[in-house]
A and B are shown apart, each in its own frame.
Chain A
C-alpha cells in the first residue's frame, strides 16, 4: 500500500488552473488535441485496462449473485433476486460468531504481538555498531517473507510434528509428552500467530528502519551531551521518531482486520482445529467452491469486502488527522 503525503485535489483530466478561465470551446479543443497527442499511450494502456475490466470489474458484476439465488444454468443475470436472504442466513447462522471471532483474534493477535517485536528488532538493528553483523542479521530475517506458506508448512512440520519434530524431540528429552501442535485446538492459534511473526517480523522492520535512519543525528548527539542513558535515548528520540510509522501501520492493519491471512490458515488448518482456526476466507472457500453454495459464499465475501472498505477508508481519514499522512 502506498503511503504518501496527501496531495491537493486536482480536477479530472488535470487541467491546469490557469487554463480554466479559457472559454469552453478552447478548453475542449485543447483537450481533444491532448487526447490525440496521447493516442499511442491510450493504445498501450488498452490491454491493462481490458484486464481490469474483465478480471477486477467482471467479478464485481458477478457479486450481484449475493442478492440472488444463483443457478449456474440460469447464469449470473438470469438467476432470481432474493434480496438480503443470504446475508440474513449468514448473520443468523451458528457459525457466524465463530468465524468473525477467529478472524479477528488472528489479525489482532498478529498486530498486537507482532508490532512491538518488529519495533524492538528494528531499534536493536539500528543501535548496534557491528555493521557487518547487522547486514547478516538483516539478510537472514528478511528471507522468510519471500517464502510461500507451503514451504513454511513444511518447515513447521519438521519442527512441530509429534513424531520427529524438533520441538517435540526436545520435549521428550525432558520427559514430556509430545504435543500435536498443528492438530490440537489448544495450540493451533498460537502456532498460527507465532509462525506469522516468525515469517514476517524481519520484513516489517524495513519501514521502521527507514524511519529511524531519517531521525536527525544531532538529536542523539544532544542526548549524549545531556548524559541520557541508552534506554532514555531510545525512549525519547527513537520511539517518537518512528511513532508516525507505527500509527500508520497500525491503522492500515486495523483496516484489514477481517483478513486473517487466508494462505496461511488454508495451509495449516485441518478438520480437528476448524473450531478455533476457521476464518471468513477459508469458510467462503469451502462453502462456495467445494460445497457449491455460490450465492451464500458470495454474500459472506461481499459482507467482508464492504466492511473492509469502510474500515480502510476510516483508517485513512484517521491517518490524515493523526499522522498528517494518508495511506493512499
Chain B
C-alpha cells in the first residue's frame, strides 16, 4: 500500500515536471506574490536607514548605496525617554497577560475535555454563547470602569484573558490524548487533579507552548485596549507609542526640543515600525513550526 502511494506520488510529480512552461509560469506567479509582500517591508527598511543628507537631496531612494546608510533614526528612537518605558510596559503586559491567560485557559480546557464531568455541557454552552454573542464595546468598558481598573495593566490583561477559540483548540487536543494512559493512572488510585498534573500536562507541552505563543502575540500587538484604558503616558505599551509617533506630522511634534535633528520623521517612523515588529520576527519561527506541523490546522479542522 505504501509503495503504491509512493509510486503514484512520484508519477504525479514527474507528470508535473514534464510540463516546464506551466511550472515556470507558476513559479513566476508565486514570485510576484512574494514581491508584493516583501517590497513594502523593504521600503520601510530603506526609509529607516536613509541618512538625512540623502533625504534632503532627493527623498528616500529605491535602493540604498552600500555604504550610505545610518542607524541614526534607531538611536534617536531608543534614547527617547518614553521608549524605554513603553518597552518595559509591553514586556510586562505580554508576559503577565500570557501567564494569566494560560492559568485560566488550561484548567478550563482540561475540565471541558473530561466527557464524564457533570455539568460539562452546560459550561461549554455558556462559554460558546459568549463566543457567538458580543454585546459590544460600551458594556465591556463600563465593566472595567465599575471595577475601577483603568490606568492599570489589569484593564489591558484581564478583559481579553481567555480566548474561547484557544480554549476549544486546547480542549480538542486534550480530548485526543490516549484515554488508556489516564485510566491507568486512575486505576492506580490517582484523583482527577493528579491525572492532570502527572499525566496530561507533561504530554501537553507542545500545545501549551503554542497557545502561549499565540496569547503572547496577541498581548504584544494589543493597542486598542491600552488606548481605551491607559491614559497615563507612563503606562502606554510600544504599539501605542508607535501609533503616537505615526500620527505625528513632524519630528517636532514627537521630540519637542529638537531643532537640529539628525534624522527625519519618516525614518523615525520606519525605525519604530521595525523595532515593534522585531520580537514578532524572533518568535515567528517557533510559531511557524507549530502551524506547519498541523497542530492548529488540526484544531481548526476538527
Binding site for B on A (CB under 8 A): 1-5, 10-14, 31, 34-35, 37-38, 40-42, 44-45, 47-49, 51-52, 54-63, 65, 76, 121, 124-125, 127-130, 133-134, 136-144, 146-151, 153-159, 161, 163-164, 166, 169, 198, 202, 206-207, 210, 217-218, 220-221, 224, 230, 262-263, 266-267, 281, 284-285, 288-289, 294, 297-298, 300-302, 304-306, 308-309, 312-313, 328
B269 near A309 (CB under 8 angstroms)? no
Within 8 Å by CB of B239, from A148, A164, A218, lies A148
Leading 8 A-B pairs by shortest Cβ distance: A301-B136, A40-B193, A148-B221, A154-B273, A62-B139, A59-B139, A44-B107, A48-B108
Within 8 Å by CB of A154, from B9, B107, B191, B242, lies B242
Chain A minimum-CB-distance residue to B246: A154
Q: Which chain A residues border B168 with CB–CB below 8 Å?
A: 2
B44 near A155 (CB under 8 angstroms)? yes
B103 near A47 (CB under 8 angstroms)? yes
Closest beta carbon of chain A to B82's beta carbon, Å: 15
Report Cα–Cα, A300/B135, bound state, in Å: 9
Report Cα–Cα, A35/B166, bound state, in Å: 26
Report Cα–Cα, A127/B17, bound state, in Å: 10
Within 8 Å by CB of B138, from A128, A163, A166, A298, lies A298
Q: Which chain A residues border B255 with CB–CB below 8 Å?
A: none
Q: Which chain B residues border A140 with CB–CB below 8 Å?
A: 34, 37-38
14 additional contacts, CB 8 Å, given A2-B302, A55-B161, A59-B135? A12-B119, A34-B118, A40-B193, A54-B147, A62-B140, A125-B30, A130-B23, A133-B27, A144-B37, A151-B239, A151-B276, A164-B59, A169-B59, A288-B141
A128 near B107 (CB under 8 angstroms)? no
A55 near B297 (CB under 8 angstroms)? no
Q: Which chain A residues border B302 with CB–CB below 8 Å?
A: 2-5
B142 near A169 (CB under 8 angstroms)? no
Closest beta carbon of chain A to B56's beta carbon, Å: 12
Query: With an 8 A cutoff between CB atoms, is B92 at the interface?
Result: no
Binding site for A on B (CB under 8 A): 5, 8-9, 11-13, 15-17, 19, 22-23, 26-27, 29-30, 33-34, 36-41, 43-44, 47, 59-60, 62, 103-105, 107-108, 110-111, 114-123, 126-128, 130-143, 146-147, 158-159, 161-162, 165, 168-169, 172, 191-193, 196, 217, 221-224, 228, 239-240, 242-243, 246, 266, 269-270, 272-273, 276-277, 280, 284, 287-288, 291-292, 294, 297, 299-302
